[in-house]
Chain A
Amino acid sequence: MASFHGLANPARFMRYSGAILPWVGGATVILLIIGLYLALFASPADYQQGETVRIMYVHVPAAWMGLMVYTTMAVASAVALIWKHPLADLVAKSSAPIGAGFTFVCLVTGSLWGEPMWGTWGVWDARLTSMLILLFLYLGYIALVDAFDDPTKGAKAAAILALVGFVNIPIIKFSVDWWNTLHQPASVAKMGGPSIDSAMLWPLLIMAVAFTCFYVTLMFMRVRTEIMARKLRSLRMAQAQG
Protein backbone atom coordinates (compact mmCIF):
# COMPACT_ATOMS: atom_id res chain seq x y z
CA MET A 1 0.00 0.00 0.00
CA ALA A 2 2.95 2.29 0.61
CA SER A 3 3.88 2.35 -3.06
CA PHE A 4 0.21 2.73 -3.99
CA HIS A 5 -0.04 5.93 -1.98
CA GLY A 6 3.48 6.90 -2.98
CA LEU A 7 2.33 6.99 -6.60
CA ALA A 8 -0.10 9.75 -5.63
CA ASN A 9 2.91 12.03 -5.83
CA PRO A 10 2.97 13.17 -9.47
CA ALA A 11 6.73 13.72 -9.54
CA ARG A 12 7.37 10.18 -8.37
CA PHE A 13 4.85 8.83 -10.85
CA MET A 14 6.57 10.74 -13.64
CA ARG A 15 9.90 9.18 -12.65
CA TYR A 16 8.59 5.62 -12.45
CA SER A 17 6.42 5.79 -15.54
CA GLY A 18 9.23 7.42 -17.49
CA ALA A 19 11.45 4.45 -16.61
CA ILE A 20 8.80 1.85 -17.44
CA LEU A 21 7.47 3.45 -20.61
CA PRO A 22 10.29 2.52 -23.07
CA TRP A 23 10.12 -1.12 -21.93
CA VAL A 24 6.36 -1.42 -22.32
CA GLY A 25 6.48 0.44 -25.61
CA GLY A 26 9.26 -1.84 -26.88
CA ALA A 27 7.36 -4.93 -25.76
CA THR A 28 4.31 -3.65 -27.64
CA VAL A 29 6.24 -3.28 -30.89
CA ILE A 30 8.00 -6.67 -30.63
CA LEU A 31 4.89 -8.58 -29.58
CA LEU A 32 2.78 -6.91 -32.25
CA ILE A 33 5.29 -7.88 -34.94
CA ILE A 34 5.51 -11.49 -33.71
CA GLY A 35 1.78 -11.74 -33.13
CA LEU A 36 0.83 -10.25 -36.50
CA TYR A 37 3.28 -12.51 -38.31
CA LEU A 38 1.93 -15.60 -36.56
CA ALA A 39 -1.66 -14.48 -37.03
CA LEU A 40 -1.47 -13.40 -40.66
CA PHE A 41 1.09 -15.82 -42.12
CA ALA A 42 2.15 -18.68 -39.84
CA SER A 43 -1.19 -19.80 -38.42
CA PRO A 44 -3.38 -22.19 -40.43
CA ALA A 45 -6.57 -21.05 -42.16
CA ASP A 46 -9.77 -22.36 -40.67
CA TYR A 47 -11.23 -25.41 -42.41
CA GLN A 48 -14.65 -23.77 -42.47
CA GLN A 49 -14.01 -20.04 -42.43
CA GLY A 50 -10.90 -20.04 -44.62
CA GLU A 51 -8.64 -17.00 -44.46
CA THR A 52 -11.29 -14.75 -42.89
CA VAL A 53 -10.58 -16.40 -39.56
CA ARG A 54 -7.52 -14.14 -39.34
CA ILE A 55 -9.83 -11.26 -38.46
CA MET A 56 -10.26 -13.03 -35.15
CA TYR A 57 -6.68 -12.19 -34.07
CA VAL A 58 -7.60 -8.51 -34.00
CA HIS A 59 -11.29 -8.78 -33.19
CA VAL A 60 -11.11 -10.97 -30.09
CA PRO A 61 -8.23 -9.15 -28.33
CA ALA A 62 -9.97 -5.83 -29.08
CA ALA A 63 -13.15 -7.14 -27.45
CA TRP A 64 -11.20 -8.34 -24.42
CA MET A 65 -9.47 -4.98 -24.14
CA GLY A 66 -12.78 -3.13 -24.45
CA LEU A 67 -14.01 -4.96 -21.37
CA MET A 68 -10.71 -4.88 -19.51
CA VAL A 69 -10.22 -1.14 -19.95
CA TYR A 70 -13.72 -0.46 -18.61
CA THR A 71 -12.93 -2.67 -15.62
CA THR A 72 -9.70 -0.73 -15.07
CA MET A 73 -11.66 2.52 -15.26
CA ALA A 74 -14.19 1.28 -12.72
CA VAL A 75 -11.44 0.16 -10.30
CA ALA A 76 -9.55 3.43 -10.79
CA SER A 77 -12.79 5.39 -10.24
CA ALA A 78 -13.50 3.49 -7.02
CA VAL A 79 -9.94 4.19 -5.82
CA ALA A 80 -10.34 7.86 -6.75
CA LEU A 81 -13.66 8.20 -4.90
CA ILE A 82 -12.58 6.25 -1.80
CA TRP A 83 -9.00 7.48 -1.26
CA LYS A 84 -9.18 10.67 -3.33
CA HIS A 85 -6.11 9.33 -5.12
CA PRO A 86 -5.28 12.10 -7.62
CA LEU A 87 -3.70 9.81 -10.22
CA ALA A 88 -6.53 7.28 -10.20
CA ASP A 89 -8.78 9.99 -11.64
CA LEU A 90 -6.26 10.61 -14.37
CA VAL A 91 -5.90 6.90 -15.12
CA ALA A 92 -9.66 6.52 -15.49
CA LYS A 93 -9.99 9.64 -17.60
CA SER A 94 -7.05 8.74 -19.85
CA SER A 95 -8.25 5.17 -20.32
CA ALA A 96 -11.71 6.09 -21.62
CA PRO A 97 -10.81 7.13 -25.19
CA ILE A 98 -8.45 4.15 -25.52
CA GLY A 99 -11.13 1.73 -24.37
CA ALA A 100 -13.65 3.36 -26.71
CA GLY A 101 -11.11 2.90 -29.52
CA PHE A 102 -10.69 -0.81 -28.76
CA THR A 103 -14.46 -1.27 -28.59
CA PHE A 104 -14.86 0.52 -31.90
CA VAL A 105 -12.19 -1.69 -33.51
CA CYS A 106 -14.01 -4.72 -32.14
CA LEU A 107 -17.28 -3.55 -33.70
CA VAL A 108 -15.73 -2.70 -37.07
CA THR A 109 -13.83 -5.98 -37.34
CA GLY A 110 -16.93 -7.85 -36.18
CA SER A 111 -18.88 -6.23 -38.97
CA LEU A 112 -16.12 -7.00 -41.50
CA TRP A 113 -16.05 -10.58 -40.28
CA GLY A 114 -19.82 -10.86 -40.42
CA GLU A 115 -19.97 -9.96 -44.09
CA PRO A 116 -18.22 -13.11 -45.48
CA MET A 117 -19.46 -15.37 -42.67
CA TRP A 118 -23.09 -14.42 -42.21
CA GLY A 119 -23.62 -12.48 -45.43
CA THR A 120 -24.41 -9.12 -43.84
CA TRP A 121 -22.45 -6.18 -42.45
CA GLY A 122 -24.73 -5.39 -39.58
CA VAL A 123 -25.60 -8.38 -37.48
CA TRP A 124 -27.47 -7.86 -34.24
CA ASP A 125 -25.54 -10.68 -32.69
CA ALA A 126 -25.82 -10.67 -28.89
CA ARG A 127 -22.13 -10.10 -28.30
CA LEU A 128 -21.79 -7.32 -30.87
CA THR A 129 -24.88 -5.61 -29.49
CA SER A 130 -23.50 -5.61 -25.96
CA MET A 131 -20.24 -4.20 -27.31
CA LEU A 132 -22.23 -1.45 -29.04
CA ILE A 133 -23.89 -0.53 -25.75
CA LEU A 134 -20.47 -0.62 -24.09
CA LEU A 135 -19.27 1.87 -26.71
CA PHE A 136 -22.14 4.20 -25.76
CA LEU A 137 -21.20 3.86 -22.09
CA TYR A 138 -17.66 4.94 -23.02
CA LEU A 139 -18.93 7.87 -25.08
CA GLY A 140 -21.23 8.99 -22.26
CA TYR A 141 -18.28 8.86 -19.86
CA ILE A 142 -16.08 10.92 -22.19
CA ALA A 143 -18.85 13.48 -22.71
CA LEU A 144 -19.46 13.79 -18.97
CA VAL A 145 -15.77 14.25 -18.07
CA ASP A 146 -15.55 17.27 -20.35
CA ALA A 147 -18.97 18.74 -19.54
CA PHE A 148 -17.92 20.52 -16.36
CA ASP A 149 -15.98 23.77 -16.10
CA ASP A 150 -14.14 22.41 -13.09
CA PRO A 151 -12.06 19.37 -14.16
CA THR A 152 -12.02 17.77 -10.70
CA LYS A 153 -15.82 17.91 -10.59
CA GLY A 154 -16.01 16.32 -14.04
CA ALA A 155 -13.64 13.56 -12.94
CA LYS A 156 -15.75 12.81 -9.86
CA ALA A 157 -19.04 12.77 -11.77
CA ALA A 158 -17.51 10.51 -14.39
CA ALA A 159 -16.20 8.21 -11.65
CA ILE A 160 -19.72 7.75 -10.30
CA LEU A 161 -20.97 7.07 -13.83
CA ALA A 162 -18.21 4.52 -14.44
CA LEU A 163 -19.20 2.63 -11.28
CA VAL A 164 -22.91 2.71 -12.15
CA GLY A 165 -22.08 1.46 -15.64
CA PHE A 166 -19.86 -1.27 -14.23
CA VAL A 167 -22.67 -2.60 -12.05
CA ASN A 168 -24.98 -2.46 -15.05
CA ILE A 169 -22.75 -4.17 -17.63
CA PRO A 170 -23.44 -7.78 -16.55
CA ILE A 171 -27.19 -7.01 -16.50
CA ILE A 172 -27.03 -5.49 -19.98
CA LYS A 173 -25.01 -8.46 -21.22
CA PHE A 174 -27.51 -10.91 -19.76
CA SER A 175 -30.55 -9.10 -21.12
CA VAL A 176 -29.05 -8.73 -24.59
CA ASP A 177 -28.32 -12.48 -24.66
CA TRP A 178 -31.91 -13.14 -23.65
CA TRP A 179 -33.24 -10.65 -26.23
CA ASN A 180 -31.17 -12.24 -28.97
CA THR A 181 -32.44 -15.75 -28.33
CA LEU A 182 -35.98 -14.42 -28.39
CA HIS A 183 -35.80 -12.37 -31.54
CA GLN A 184 -33.81 -14.62 -33.79
CA PRO A 185 -33.23 -18.35 -33.64
CA ALA A 186 -29.69 -19.50 -32.96
CA SER A 187 -28.64 -19.74 -36.57
CA VAL A 188 -26.37 -16.73 -36.67
CA ALA A 189 -24.79 -16.47 -33.28
CA LYS A 190 -23.36 -19.97 -33.35
CA MET A 191 -19.72 -19.84 -34.23
CA GLY A 192 -16.52 -21.57 -33.26
CA GLY A 193 -17.78 -25.10 -33.07
CA PRO A 194 -14.82 -27.17 -31.85
CA SER A 195 -12.61 -25.57 -29.24
CA ILE A 196 -9.71 -23.57 -30.57
CA ASP A 197 -6.56 -25.34 -31.78
CA SER A 198 -3.23 -24.47 -30.20
CA ALA A 199 -1.89 -23.29 -33.58
CA MET A 200 -4.51 -20.56 -33.40
CA LEU A 201 -4.49 -20.08 -29.65
CA TRP A 202 -0.85 -18.99 -29.44
CA PRO A 203 -1.08 -16.12 -31.93
CA LEU A 204 -4.30 -15.04 -30.24
CA LEU A 205 -2.71 -14.96 -26.80
CA ILE A 206 0.37 -13.12 -28.08
CA MET A 207 -1.89 -10.57 -29.74
CA ALA A 208 -3.83 -10.17 -26.49
CA VAL A 209 -0.64 -9.48 -24.54
CA ALA A 210 0.51 -7.08 -27.27
CA PHE A 211 -2.80 -5.20 -27.08
CA THR A 212 -2.48 -5.01 -23.29
CA CYS A 213 1.04 -3.58 -23.56
CA PHE A 214 -0.25 -1.15 -26.17
CA TYR A 215 -2.96 0.00 -23.78
CA VAL A 216 -0.50 0.43 -20.89
CA THR A 217 1.85 2.42 -23.15
CA LEU A 218 -0.88 4.73 -24.38
CA MET A 219 -2.35 5.15 -20.92
CA PHE A 220 1.01 6.08 -19.39
CA MET A 221 1.64 8.55 -22.19
CA ARG A 222 -1.77 10.14 -21.74
CA VAL A 223 -1.45 10.38 -17.95
CA ARG A 224 2.02 11.92 -18.30
CA THR A 225 0.72 14.41 -20.84
CA GLU A 226 -2.15 15.33 -18.54
CA ILE A 227 0.21 15.86 -15.59
CA MET A 228 2.47 18.05 -17.70
CA ALA A 229 -0.50 20.02 -19.03
CA ARG A 230 -1.68 20.67 -15.47
CA LYS A 231 1.79 21.75 -14.40
CA LEU A 232 1.94 24.07 -17.38
CA ARG A 233 -1.46 25.53 -16.54
CA SER A 234 -0.52 26.21 -12.92
CA LEU A 235 2.78 27.77 -14.00
CA ARG A 236 0.94 30.05 -16.41
CA MET A 237 -1.56 30.98 -13.70
CA ALA A 238 1.33 31.78 -11.33
CA GLN A 239 2.99 33.86 -14.01
CA ALA A 240 -0.21 35.75 -14.81
CA GLN A 241 -0.81 36.52 -11.16
CA GLY A 242 2.79 37.39 -10.33
Chain B
Amino acid sequence: MNAFAVIVSRDVGLALRRAADTLTVIMFFVLAIVLFPLGVGPELAVLARIAAGTVWVAALLSAMLSLERMFQADYEDGSLEQLALAPAPLAFVVLAKALAHWLTTGVPLILVAPLLAILMNMPVEGLPILMLSMAIGTPALSLIGAIGAALTVGVRRGGVLLSLLVLPLVTPILIFGVGAVEATLTGLGGRPHLLILGGFTTASLFLAPWAAAAALRLSLD
Protein backbone atom coordinates (compact mmCIF):
# COMPACT_ATOMS: atom_id res chain seq x y z
CA MET B 1 0.00 0.00 0.00
CA ASN B 2 2.94 2.21 0.81
CA ALA B 3 4.36 1.79 -2.69
CA PHE B 4 0.99 2.75 -4.14
CA ALA B 5 0.88 6.01 -2.15
CA VAL B 6 4.49 6.79 -3.06
CA ILE B 7 3.85 6.40 -6.80
CA VAL B 8 0.67 8.46 -6.68
CA SER B 9 2.30 11.29 -4.74
CA ARG B 10 5.39 11.19 -6.98
CA ASP B 11 3.31 11.46 -10.15
CA VAL B 12 1.03 14.14 -8.75
CA GLY B 13 4.08 16.06 -7.54
CA LEU B 14 5.73 15.84 -10.95
CA ALA B 15 2.52 17.04 -12.61
CA LEU B 16 2.23 19.98 -10.19
CA ARG B 17 5.79 21.10 -10.93
CA ARG B 18 4.98 21.05 -14.63
CA ALA B 19 1.63 22.73 -14.19
CA ALA B 20 1.79 24.02 -17.76
CA ASP B 21 0.95 20.53 -19.01
CA THR B 22 -2.27 20.36 -17.00
CA LEU B 23 -3.12 23.94 -17.93
CA THR B 24 -2.73 23.12 -21.62
CA VAL B 25 -5.29 20.34 -21.26
CA ILE B 26 -7.71 22.68 -19.51
CA MET B 27 -7.17 25.40 -22.11
CA PHE B 28 -7.87 22.88 -24.86
CA PHE B 29 -11.07 21.87 -23.07
CA VAL B 30 -12.20 25.51 -22.82
CA LEU B 31 -11.25 26.31 -26.39
CA ALA B 32 -13.01 23.25 -27.82
CA ILE B 33 -16.22 24.29 -26.07
CA VAL B 34 -15.90 27.93 -27.15
CA LEU B 35 -15.65 26.79 -30.77
CA PHE B 36 -19.07 25.14 -30.67
CA PRO B 37 -21.22 28.28 -30.40
CA LEU B 38 -19.08 29.79 -33.16
CA GLY B 39 -19.71 26.74 -35.29
CA VAL B 40 -23.40 26.07 -34.72
CA GLY B 41 -24.54 29.64 -34.04
CA PRO B 42 -25.47 31.47 -30.84
CA GLU B 43 -29.12 30.35 -30.53
CA LEU B 44 -29.55 29.52 -26.87
CA ALA B 45 -32.07 26.71 -27.42
CA VAL B 46 -29.73 24.87 -29.79
CA LEU B 47 -26.79 25.32 -27.43
CA ALA B 48 -28.79 24.05 -24.47
CA ARG B 49 -29.81 20.99 -26.47
CA ILE B 50 -26.21 20.03 -27.31
CA ALA B 51 -24.57 21.27 -24.09
CA ALA B 52 -24.17 17.93 -22.31
CA GLY B 53 -22.87 16.21 -25.42
CA THR B 54 -20.31 18.87 -26.31
CA VAL B 55 -18.94 19.14 -22.78
CA TRP B 56 -18.53 15.38 -22.56
CA VAL B 57 -16.97 15.05 -26.03
CA ALA B 58 -14.56 17.91 -25.34
CA ALA B 59 -13.62 16.36 -21.99
CA LEU B 60 -12.95 13.04 -23.73
CA LEU B 61 -10.69 14.68 -26.32
CA SER B 62 -8.86 16.71 -23.67
CA ALA B 63 -8.18 13.57 -21.66
CA MET B 64 -6.75 11.94 -24.82
CA LEU B 65 -4.20 14.77 -25.04
CA SER B 66 -2.75 14.01 -21.67
CA LEU B 67 -2.77 10.21 -21.88
CA GLU B 68 0.40 10.07 -23.91
CA ARG B 69 2.39 11.40 -21.00
CA MET B 70 1.23 8.71 -18.58
CA PHE B 71 4.18 6.40 -19.19
CA GLN B 72 6.27 8.22 -21.80
CA ALA B 73 8.61 10.23 -19.52
CA ASP B 74 9.20 7.25 -17.25
CA TYR B 75 9.88 5.06 -20.25
CA GLU B 76 12.42 7.50 -21.68
CA ASP B 77 14.44 8.04 -18.50
CA GLY B 78 14.32 4.36 -17.56
CA SER B 79 12.36 4.69 -14.34
CA LEU B 80 9.61 2.55 -15.81
CA GLU B 81 12.02 -0.38 -15.82
CA GLN B 82 12.83 0.28 -12.19
CA LEU B 83 9.11 0.30 -11.41
CA ALA B 84 8.67 -2.97 -13.29
CA LEU B 85 11.49 -4.55 -11.25
CA ALA B 86 10.08 -3.28 -7.96
CA PRO B 87 8.41 -5.85 -5.68
CA ALA B 88 4.99 -4.25 -6.15
CA PRO B 89 3.06 -5.93 -9.00
CA LEU B 90 3.15 -3.97 -12.25
CA ALA B 91 -0.67 -3.87 -12.42
CA PHE B 92 -0.56 -2.12 -9.05
CA VAL B 93 1.88 0.45 -10.44
CA VAL B 94 -0.43 1.01 -13.43
CA LEU B 95 -3.37 1.53 -11.08
CA ALA B 96 -1.39 4.13 -9.12
CA LYS B 97 -0.36 5.95 -12.30
CA ALA B 98 -3.92 5.90 -13.61
CA LEU B 99 -5.11 7.37 -10.30
CA ALA B 100 -2.45 10.09 -10.53
CA HIS B 101 -3.52 10.80 -14.11
CA TRP B 102 -7.13 11.10 -13.00
CA LEU B 103 -6.20 13.43 -10.12
CA THR B 104 -4.21 15.72 -12.41
CA THR B 105 -6.51 15.77 -15.47
CA GLY B 106 -9.87 14.19 -14.60
CA VAL B 107 -10.45 16.29 -11.49
CA PRO B 108 -9.54 19.65 -13.11
CA LEU B 109 -11.81 18.80 -16.04
CA ILE B 110 -14.67 18.03 -13.65
CA LEU B 111 -14.12 21.34 -11.85
CA VAL B 112 -14.08 23.39 -15.06
CA ALA B 113 -16.98 21.53 -16.71
CA PRO B 114 -19.86 23.38 -14.95
CA LEU B 115 -18.50 26.76 -16.06
CA LEU B 116 -18.37 25.57 -19.65
CA ALA B 117 -21.82 24.01 -19.35
CA ILE B 118 -23.15 27.42 -18.32
CA LEU B 119 -21.44 28.92 -21.37
CA MET B 120 -23.37 26.36 -23.39
CA ASN B 121 -26.61 27.47 -21.69
CA MET B 122 -27.18 24.21 -19.84
CA PRO B 123 -30.00 24.57 -17.26
CA VAL B 124 -28.62 24.89 -13.72
CA GLU B 125 -30.33 21.65 -12.59
CA GLY B 126 -28.06 19.80 -15.01
CA LEU B 127 -24.78 21.00 -13.49
CA PRO B 128 -24.57 18.72 -10.41
CA ILE B 129 -25.46 15.65 -12.44
CA LEU B 130 -22.92 16.63 -15.09
CA MET B 131 -20.20 16.80 -12.45
CA LEU B 132 -21.40 13.57 -10.87
CA SER B 133 -21.49 11.68 -14.18
CA MET B 134 -18.00 12.97 -15.00
CA ALA B 135 -16.76 12.03 -11.54
CA ILE B 136 -18.00 8.47 -12.09
CA GLY B 137 -16.99 8.19 -15.75
CA THR B 138 -13.59 9.87 -16.01
CA PRO B 139 -11.74 7.29 -13.82
CA ALA B 140 -12.67 4.67 -16.43
CA LEU B 141 -11.27 7.03 -19.05
CA SER B 142 -7.91 7.13 -17.24
CA LEU B 143 -7.94 3.36 -16.73
CA ILE B 144 -8.80 2.38 -20.31
CA GLY B 145 -6.53 5.15 -21.53
CA ALA B 146 -3.73 3.51 -19.54
CA ILE B 147 -4.05 0.43 -21.79
CA GLY B 148 -3.67 2.60 -24.88
CA ALA B 149 -0.79 4.56 -23.34
CA ALA B 150 0.96 1.32 -22.37
CA LEU B 151 0.51 -0.17 -25.84
CA THR B 152 1.94 2.89 -27.60
CA VAL B 153 4.70 3.70 -25.13
CA GLY B 154 7.52 2.54 -27.39
CA VAL B 155 5.99 3.92 -30.58
CA ARG B 156 7.32 7.10 -32.15
CA ARG B 157 4.12 8.69 -33.46
CA GLY B 158 2.16 7.37 -30.51
CA GLY B 159 -0.14 10.33 -29.84
CA VAL B 160 -2.52 10.05 -32.76
CA LEU B 161 -2.43 6.27 -32.66
CA LEU B 162 -3.36 6.39 -28.98
CA SER B 163 -6.56 8.32 -29.75
CA LEU B 164 -7.42 5.89 -32.53
CA LEU B 165 -7.04 2.97 -30.11
CA VAL B 166 -8.76 4.44 -27.09
CA LEU B 167 -11.67 6.49 -28.46
CA PRO B 168 -13.68 3.52 -29.85
CA LEU B 169 -13.23 1.72 -26.54
CA VAL B 170 -14.59 4.58 -24.44
CA THR B 171 -17.77 5.27 -26.44
CA PRO B 172 -19.92 3.63 -23.71
CA ILE B 173 -18.65 6.20 -21.19
CA LEU B 174 -19.68 9.04 -23.48
CA ILE B 175 -23.11 7.54 -24.14
CA PHE B 176 -24.01 6.96 -20.51
CA GLY B 177 -22.33 10.13 -19.26
CA VAL B 178 -24.36 12.29 -21.63
CA GLY B 179 -27.41 10.07 -21.09
CA ALA B 180 -27.38 10.70 -17.34
CA VAL B 181 -27.45 14.48 -17.83
CA GLU B 182 -30.12 14.41 -20.51
CA ALA B 183 -32.33 11.98 -18.61
CA THR B 184 -32.16 14.22 -15.54
CA LEU B 185 -32.99 17.35 -17.56
CA THR B 186 -35.98 15.67 -19.22
CA GLY B 187 -37.23 14.48 -15.83
CA LEU B 188 -36.61 10.77 -16.37
CA GLY B 189 -33.90 10.53 -13.72
CA GLY B 190 -30.27 9.75 -14.46
CA ARG B 191 -29.83 7.01 -11.88
CA PRO B 192 -29.80 4.01 -14.30
CA HIS B 193 -27.18 5.72 -16.46
CA LEU B 194 -25.03 6.53 -13.46
CA LEU B 195 -25.27 2.95 -12.21
CA ILE B 196 -24.20 1.53 -15.57
CA LEU B 197 -21.41 4.10 -15.74
CA GLY B 198 -20.33 2.98 -12.27
CA GLY B 199 -20.39 -0.63 -13.39
CA PHE B 200 -18.22 0.22 -16.36
CA THR B 201 -15.72 2.06 -14.15
CA THR B 202 -15.64 -0.81 -11.65
CA ALA B 203 -15.04 -3.38 -14.37
CA SER B 204 -12.22 -1.33 -15.87
CA LEU B 205 -10.77 -0.87 -12.38
CA PHE B 206 -10.17 -4.61 -12.22
CA LEU B 207 -9.41 -5.46 -15.84
CA ALA B 208 -7.58 -2.44 -17.28
CA PRO B 209 -4.48 -2.40 -14.98
CA TRP B 210 -3.91 -6.04 -15.79
CA ALA B 211 -4.06 -5.50 -19.57
CA ALA B 212 -1.96 -2.33 -19.35
CA ALA B 213 0.67 -4.16 -17.27
CA ALA B 214 0.89 -6.89 -19.94
CA ALA B 215 1.34 -4.19 -22.58
CA LEU B 216 4.05 -2.42 -20.55
CA ARG B 217 6.00 -5.66 -20.03
CA LEU B 218 5.97 -6.02 -23.79
CA SER B 219 7.57 -2.64 -24.44
CA LEU B 220 10.15 -3.19 -21.70
CA ASP B 221 11.51 -6.39 -23.28
Listed in ascending order, the chain A residues whose CB lies under 8 Å from chain B are: 81, 133, 136-137, 139-140, 143-144, 147-148, 153, 156-157, 160-161, 163-165, 167-168, 171-172, 174-176, 178-179, 182
Known contacts A153-B218, A156-B218; A178 and B175 CB within 8 A of each other: yes
> Nearest chain-A residue to B203 (Cβ)?
A171
Tell me, yes or no, whether B77 is within 8 Å of chain A by CB.
no
How far in angstroms is the closest Cβ of chain B from A78? 12
Known contacts A175-B171, A175-B175; A167 and B151 CB within 8 A of each other: no
Question: Sorted from nearest, which 10 A-B pairs have the closest CB atoms?
Answer: A175-B172, A136-B168, A179-B175, A140-B165, A147-B155, A175-B175, A140-B164, A133-B168, A157-B151, A156-B218
Please name 12 pairs of A and B residues whose Cβ atoms are closer than 8 Å in the assembled complex, sorted by A: A140-B161, A148-B155, A153-B219, A160-B151, A160-B214, A161-B151, A165-B168, A168-B172, A172-B169, A175-B176, A178-B179, A182-B179
A139 touches B175 (CB 8 A): no
For residue A160, which residues in chain B have a CB less than 8 angstroms away from its CB? 147, 151, 211, 214-215, 218
CA A139 to CA B182, docked complex, whole Å: 31
Known contacts A140-B168, A175-B171; A147 and B161 CB within 8 A of each other: yes
Tell me, yes or no, whether B17 is within 8 Å of chain A by CB.
no
> Nearest chain-A residue to B164 (Cβ)?
A140
CA A213 to CA B15, docked complex, whole Å: 54
Which of the residues A153, A164, A178 comes within 8 Å of B147, measured between beta carbons?
A164
A168 touches B169 (CB 8 A): yes
For residue B171, which residues in chain A have a CB less than 8 angstroms away from its CB? 133, 172, 175-176
B168 touches A144 (CB 8 A): no
Tell me, yes or no, whether B207 is within 8 Å of chain A by CB.
yes
Listed in ascending order, the chain B residues whose CB lies under 8 Å from chain A are: 147, 151-152, 154-158, 161, 164-165, 167-169, 171-172, 175-176, 179, 182-183, 196, 200, 207, 211, 214-215, 218-219, 221
CA A137 to CA B171, docked complex, whole Å: 12
For residue A161, which residues in chain B have a CB less than 8 angstroms away from its CB? 147, 151, 165
B219 touches A179 (CB 8 A): no
Known contacts A157-B218, A160-B215; A171 and B175 CB within 8 A of each other: no
> Nearest chain-B residue to A173 (Cβ)?
B172
CA A160 to CA B196, docked complex, whole Å: 25
Known contacts A136-B167, A139-B164; A171 and B200 CB within 8 A of each other: yes
CA A167 to CA B172, docked complex, whole Å: 13
For residue B214, which residues in chain A have a CB less than 8 angstroms away from its CB? 81, 160
B164 touches A157 (CB 8 A): no
B172 touches A172 (CB 8 A): yes
For residue A174, which residues in chain B have a CB less than 8 angstroms away from its CB? 172
For residue A165, which residues in chain B have a CB less than 8 angstroms away from its CB? 168-169
CA A3 to CA B145, docked complex, whole Å: 39
CA A156 to CA B211, docked complex, whole Å: 12
Which of the residues B156, B168, B207, B218 comes within 8 Å of A137, measured between beta carbons?
B168
CA A179 to CA B151, docked complex, whole Å: 29
The winner among B156, B207, B218 for most chain A CB atoms within 10 A is B218
CA A188 to CA B79, docked complex, whole Å: 54
CA A148 to CA B221, docked complex, whole Å: 13
> Nearest chain-B residue to A153 (Cβ)?
B218
For residue A136, which residues in chain B have a CB less than 8 angstroms away from its CB? 164, 167-168
CA A81 to CA B215, docked complex, whole Å: 11
The winner among A164, A174, A178, A179 for most chain B CB atoms within 10 A is A164
CA A136 to CA B211, docked complex, whole Å: 20
- Interface contacts beyond A136-B168, A157-B151, A182-B182: sample of 13 additional A-B pairs, CB < 8 Å, sorted by A: A139-B164, A140-B164, A143-B161, A144-B161, A147-B158, A148-B155, A153-B218, A160-B215, A165-B168, A167-B207, A172-B169, A175-B172, A178-B179
For residue B183, which residues in chain A have a CB less than 8 angstroms away from its CB? 182
B168 touches A157 (CB 8 A): no
CA A171 to CA B176, docked complex, whole Å: 11
How far in angstroms is the closest Cβ of chain B from A204? 29
A153 touches B221 (CB 8 A): yes
CA A144 to CA B152, docked complex, whole Å: 8
How far in angstroms is the closest Cβ of chain A from B38? 24
